[in-house]
Each structure stands twice: as structure tokens, then as C-alpha cells.
Structure 1
Amino acid sequence: MTGITQLRRSDVGRCHPEKRHRPPNRPSAAASGGPFRVVVFATEGVSSFALGAVSQVFADRSHLGLPRFSLTVCAGEGGALRTDLGLLLSVEHGPEAMRTADLIIMLPTEARPLTVRRPVVDAIGDAFRRGTIVAAYGTGSFLLAETGLLDGRRAATDWALAGRLAERHPRITVDPVALYVDEGRIVTGAGAAAGIDMCLHLLRRELGPAVSDAVAREAMVAARRASGQVQYVPAPWSVGGARRAGFRDPRLDEVLLWARTRLREAMSVDDLARRALMSPRTFARRFREATGTTPRTWLRDQRLDRAEELLETTDLPIQKIADLVGMGSDGVLRDHFVKRHGIPPRDWRRDSTRR
């Protein structure tokens, strides 16, 4: 599969610092009190599930004290589109709707060929240059690839189509397993429900964890799945991430809840196994079956998640945060932060105050 790179899990989700920040001439509408403007681009055969999922995530919940969202559906030109279920969708807006967007999402489609017309390419390119975030997932990543914005970047798509995307666009480094790949103002995701993960990640990144968690609760979906979660392993959804569809082990749920309340303490896989009353080998096997990852990776991700929350919601010194999450030193925390986000904790905190 030409163009596909096997990446370390620590690399998945990294973004380039220079690509991460919104240009100063393009502030978010939400930052000035207006709605966060989301424009979704649909083509013939658009996924009905994707339309419903994105509409649910970006529904206006301002009556609950959350930021206002404005959601607009546009197409290559106004008119009626037929969805993958055969339903007729009336679309009033063309590419001109992208001019005022804070976020553009190119939705997956069942139609072929996976191409977009020049007016759409130009509109997306102009929006990106103005500072708009552009995202796509599933076959929508193929549509985004047509604009050239993915050239020289990493990208995700449905795992079954990763080879095809790499062959068609050899300048893209396709990650065949990630749920989503964050490249700053370009974000791509895998297929189906991974689009929800991608959207919640964008909410968390742009508006903070309190907003993304509240939206997830209202939408009744998992608040966060790490970008490195293997996309074709059913995702954990219970407390502590110890359960996936068709899998239940109360001992793992209890152990991971216990671990999450003690992140400051030194913990090894052996410690977790003893708590679960299993041998380390059995525990590691059962853990991977349940979550799709290793205990060590899960523990690191929990610590980083907690560090992000503390950076965004407190003024604690970074060394204190490193102690509280069990990282030991601000240098260790910094190394892990750079691997995950491409920027150090201090920059993450500074950026969070601007959201």
C-alpha cells in the first residue's frame, strides 16, 4: 500500500505547532460572543448517519449555558440530493456558505467517483487561507484530498479504504488505524462513528473539555476516545474505558476506576493485575481484549487527559500538575505533551485561554 506509514501510537494525533494556531485575522465567532459556525459539505449519496451525527454534536444547546452553534448544510450547488438511504435532502446553500465558517466538515458519501468540482475546491481553499478549520472523515477524506490540502500531511479515513486513498494520493501519509489525525487546522477521521470522536475532539480543542464533555453527555456518546485507538476495535464506553460492545468485566471496570482516582501514585501493570486478582499476563490480555490498547498506554493517556484538564481549568504550576498526574517532573510531562500535541504544556495552556 503505497503511502501508508506504520506509526507508533505516541505519534498518532500529533500536530505541527505552526499549523495549530488560528491566524490572527480569523478569530472564531464564538470568541466574540457569536455562534460557532459549522458548515457541512454534502454530495450525492451523503451518509444519513453522518448528517445525523454531526447535527447532534453541533446542535444548539445555548439554553444549557453552552456556546451557541450554527449549523449549515451546503453542496456543490443548491438543490436536492439523495442520501445513501434514498432520502431526498433539500440543500439551500452552495459553496458560498463556507465564507463565514469557523469549521467546515466534508461528510462521507456512498456515491462514486469521489471528486469535487472546482468551485468547491476554491471555496475550501479560500476558507482555509482565512483561518477556517477544515475536517473530513470516512470517504469525506477523499473529497478533502481533491482540494490538495492534505498533500504533505498525515490523514485518516475508513481503514478499509486506506490503501485506496494512499494509492490515489501518494503525497498523503495515510494512517490506516487512527480514529482521527489532528494536523492543526486540518483534521481527518476514520469511518462511521469515528466522525463523532473527531467532532468531539475538535470541540475539546477549540472550546475546552467542559464543553465537549457536556455535549457528549447530552448526545449520550463516549466523551473521548484517544486518536490512537484502533478504529476497527469496538470502542470502550463505560467508566474507565474497560468495556466495549459485547464485552463486560466488572473487575476491570473497578480496577480502572480505582486507578483513575490515584493517578498521582506510581502504578505498574503488576499493581493493576493484583488489584484485578489476575496474573500480569492474563490481565494484559484481558485488558487489550476490552479496550484495544495496553495498560501502560491507557495509564499514560489518563494522566495526559487529566493534565490537559488541569492546564485548562487551573493556574497550578506545570511542575505541580506533573506531580498530581503522576508524571514526576515537568520535563516528562512536556515530552509526552509534545508527542501527543506537537506543543508543550505551557503553549497548550496559553492557547486554551484564547478559545
Structure 2
Amino acid sequence: MHTVAVLALDGVIPFDLATPIETFGRTRLPDGRPAYRVRVCSATKEVDTGAFTLRAPWGLDALAEADTIMLPGCGDLDVPIAPEVLDALKAAAADGTRIASICVGAFVLAATGLLDGQRATTHWAAAGLLAARHPEIKVDPDVLYVDNGQFLTSAGAAAGLDLCLHLVRRDYGSAVAADAARLSVMPLERDGGQAQFIVHPQPPAPRGSTMEPLLRWMDDNASREITLEDIASQAGMSTRTVNRHFREQIGTTPLQWLHRARIRQAQYLLESTTHSVDRIAVQVGFGSPTAFRDRFKRVTGTNPHAYRRAFQSDPERRTTAS
């Protein structure tokens, strides 16, 4: 039987904490025996989650006895990790213990230095901060989880469940993992390389920016075939000047901004209609369905069909778009 130690620190995110406890705790072998022994550990007897206080039955010494250590995320990323926690994690790693993080639990694992030189992920909203604090880590914000063998990281809370099922599959095979997935009402097919389905917001104009009227015009006309010359004419500038102003005030180029506006419209249509992908490509202003598919995948990290399957609200209205 594998022993899983779930490390709870002050400010731990309750959902992140519950995910490994539930997933590993309910996994059964074909003969009905429990597959894992789960222990909640902490550096202190009581842990303040913000919503409630919990008592951890095991201390840090239990980390040395675990086959796997799970690191849930904590809400405040500015709170330093206690040295004794980092030392215990590094000692366990030196003994070959597998360590995996959920969501922003990657910051705890990163603080040990064990991820240096490796690829890792975390919730997309925190990926930039992780990369800035730990430039020696190759942060990939566009995947559900990363498996480096001994050290694993996952994106948001739901991706933590994907990671737990992946570990079950590694330990006991696909049949046991599929049974665990059914208990969690979760598909087993989502692999680590799948995108996080990020809806990328448009870069905003600074308050009072002279670009605001132009941005409104571009947004209103995004479905038309607008060229850089059209944008420059609307702004009363040369193409070179409008490009420079965009970069200075918005941080991107006019055409890149326009493409994101079109992708945002396409996301809405994929979620709310049964229009074919080719029709949506035309509706949002792409001259070619192939160009639309390429741009959509570049911006969202997935293809239009996968996005529709994941986000269309009414399954009865889904389409096998061409």
C-alpha cells in the first residue's frame, strides 16, 4: 500500500487539500482493498485555512515515511515557507520520495530549489509570478500538469484532480485509475498536455488614453476584414505611427489586438451556437478557416472543436462542425 502525505500549511486552499485526500482515499484495488494510506501532515497541530481551522493528525516527520507528498496551494503567496518545512521536503526528496503540487502549491515546491532547471506549471494567473520569482524554472502556463518523474506540478484545482488520477495510473494502471475517475465523476482522458482553456483578456488602454475611441471602433468592426491601413485611416495616423502608439499605450500591435478581439467573439459563438467552425471563421472576420483554426489554437492553446466540447452549455446543441 502506498502512503500519501498531504502537507497542510496555514492558508491552505480547502479544495486543493480535499482533492488528494478524496481521490487517493477512495481508490480501491481490484480486490477491494484500499490502494493508498492518506495522512494529513503539518508543521503545527492546527492549520488555519481562513474558512475553518483543522487539526493535522501527523507532523512533518510523517513526510519521511511517505511514498508521495502532495502540496496543496495556499492563498497568500507572500507568506514565507518555514525553514523546517523546506528542510523536511528536501530530505524526503533526497530519499527518493515523489513530490507533487496542486495549483499554487508549486510555489512551495519551487522554494525548495527542487524544481530548478525543470519544467513546471501552476495556475495560469500565477504563472508569471512563479516565473519571475524563480527564473531558473521553465514555467509552462498552458498545460494541465507536468510530470518530471519525481517532481510533478499541476495547474488549477481541477487540474489537481487530473494529476492525482495520473499518479493512480502510474502506480496501479489504467483500470484502477479509471475506477477512481468514475468515483470522482471525472474523465480519465484529460492528459497533462491539454491546455488550461484560458480566456485571454484584451490588453486595456490606460485611463484617458487617446486610443480608447479607436479600440471601440476596432471592437465594433472586428468581424470585418480590417487592414492596418484601415486602422491607421480611422485613427488619422500613418501605419507606422499607429503601430508605435499601440505598442506604447497598449503593449501590442493593432493587428494582434484585433485578432484577440476576433478570438473572443469566436469563443462566445462556439459556446452559444451550433454554427460550424467554418461559418464562425467568416463571422468573426477571418478570411480563411485554416487561418482561424491556427490563430485560435495559438491564442487559446486548443482547437475550436475541443473548446466547443468543453464549454458549450447545452450538450443537445453540440455540432460536429466541419
Give the TM-score band, short-chain normalised: 0.5 to 0.7
Tell me which residue corresponds to 1:80: 46
Tell me which residue corresponds to 1:167: 132
Q: Give the conservation status (yes or no) of the 8 Å contact 2:124–2:198.
A: no
- Among all aligned residue pairs of Structure 1 and Structure 2, give the percentage whose two residues are the same amino acid: 37
1:152 aligns with 2:133: no
Bigger-Rg structure (1/2): 2
CA distance in 1, matches of 2:308, 2:292: 10
For residues 286 and 124 of structure 1, do their structure 2 counterparts lie closer, same or farther at Cα, with a shift above 3 Å needed?
A: closer
Q: Give the conservation status (yes or no) of the 8 Å contact 2:72–2:102.
A: yes
For residues 139 and 215 of structure 1, do their structure 2 counterparts lie closer, same or farther at Cα, with a shift above 3 Å needed?
A: same
Displacement of 1:201 after TM fit? 1.0
For residues 147 and 282 of structure 1, do their structure 2 counterparts lie closer, same or farther at Cα, with a shift above 3 Å needed?
A: closer
Query: What are structure 1's unaligned runs of at least 5 residues?
Result: 1-34, 235-244, 253-278, 293-355
Equivalences for 1:221-260 in 2 at 5 Å?
Answer: 221-233=186-198
Q: Structure 1 stretches (4+) deviating beyond 3 angstroms? A: 60-64, 245-249, 279-286
CA distance in 2, matches of 1:221, 1:282: 33
Q: Give the conservation status (yes or no) of the 8 Å contact 1:115–1:146.
A: no
Normalising by structure 2, we get a TM-score of 0.62
CA distance in 2, matches of 1:248, 1:180: 31
Tell me which residue corresponds to 1:103: 68
Q: Give the conservation status (yes or no) of the 8 Å contact 2:30–2:176.
A: no
Q: Give the conservation status (yes or no) of the 8 Å contact 1:114–1:143.
A: no
Secondary structure of the structure 1 residue equivalent to 2:25? coil
Displacement of 1:62 after TM fit? 3.9
**Amino acid across the alignment from 1:200:** L
For residues 63 and 181 of structure 1, do their structure 2 counterparts lie closer, same or farther at Cα, with a shift above 3 Å needed?
A: closer
Tell me which residue corresponds to 2:5: 39
Equivalences for 1:16-95 in 2 at 5 Å?
Answer: 35-62=1-28, 65=31, 67-77=34-44, 79-84=45-50, 86-95=51-60
CA distance in 2, matches of 1:36, 1:248: 47
CA distance in 1, matches of 2:180, 2:271: 25
Q: Give the conservation status (yes or no) of the 8 Å contact 1:109–1:140.
A: yes
CA distance in 2, matches of 1:233, 1:192: 14
Tell me which residue corresponds to 1:290: 308
Q: Give the conservation status (yes or no) of the 8 Å contact 1:60–1:70.
A: no
CA distance in 1, matches of 2:56, 2:271: 39
RMSD value over aligned CA atoms?
A: 2.8
Displacement of 1:124 after TM fit? 1.2
Tell me which residue corresponds to 1:119: 84
1:206 aligns with 2:171: yes
1:180 aligns with 2:145: yes
Tell me which residue corresponds to 1:141: 106
Q: Give the conservation status (yes or no) of the 8 Å contact 2:197–2:307.
A: no
CA-to-partner distance for each residue in 1:67-114, whole Å, 9 max, x for gaps?
52111111123x211214x11111132210111101001111113424
Displacement of 1:137 after TM fit? 2.1
**Amino acid across the alignment from 1:54:** P
For residues 71 and 198 of structure 1, do their structure 2 counterparts lie closer, same or farther at Cα, with a shift above 3 Å needed?
A: same
**Amino acid across the alignment from 2:22:** Q
Normalising by structure 1, we get a TM-score of 0.56
CA distance in 2, matches of 1:62, 1:212: 9
How many residues are aligned here?
Answer: 219
**Amino acid across the alignment from 1:201:** H
Secondary structure of the structure 1 residue equivalent to 2:146? strand
